[in-house]
Amino acid sequence: MAQRQNVLDNLQTVTSLKRKIRELSTLSEIVQAINSSLKPEEILETIMAKAADLIKAEGWSVLLLDYETRELVFKAAAGEAGKKLLGMRLKIGQGVAGWSARHGQSLIVPDVSKDPRFYSGIDAKTKFVTKSILCVPMRSKNKIIGVVEVVNKSDGEPFTNDDLDIFENLVAHVTIALENAAIYRKMEEASLIDDLTKLYNLRYCNQYLDKFLAERKSEFGIVSLIFLDIDFFKLVDDNFGHLVGSETLRRVGERLRRTVRKDDVLVRYGGDEYIVILPNTDKQTATAIAERIRKEISREPFFTFDNQKFSISVTLGVATYPEDAKTRDELIGKADKAMYDGKLSGRDKVVVA
Kindly list the catalytic residues.
272
Which residues are 321's β-sheet partners? 223
**If we measure between CA atoms, which residue out of 333, 312, 310 comes closest to residue 321?**
333
Cα–Cα distance for residue pair 343/237, rounded to 1 Å: 19
How distant is the alpha carbon of residue 54 from its chain centre? Answer: 29
Cα–Cα distance for residue pair 133/149, rounded to 1 Å: 7
Cβ proximity of 166 and 130 under 8 Å: no
Cβ proximity of 156 and 167 under 8 Å: no
Cβ proximity of 225 and 335 under 8 Å: yes
Sign of the alpha-carbon dihedral angle for 19, 22, 24, 30: negative
Cβ proximity of 225 and 339 under 8 Å: no
Quick check: helix, strand or coil at residue 275?
A: strand
Quick check: helix, strand or coil at residue 254?
A: helix
Which residues are 188's β-sheet partners? none
Cα–Cα distance for residue pair 292/263, rounded to 1 Å: 16
Cβ proximity of 49 and 40 under 8 Å: no
Cβ proximity of 353 and 333 under 8 Å: no
Q: How far is CA 72 from CA 53, 75, 132, 133, 319, in A?
A: 26, 9, 20, 17, 45
**If we measure between CA atoms, which residue out of 226, 310, 211, 312 comes closest to residue 267?**
226
Q: How far is CA 322 from CA 29, 30, 264, 311, 319, in A?
A: 47, 46, 18, 36, 9
Which residues are 277's β-sheet partners? 225, 265
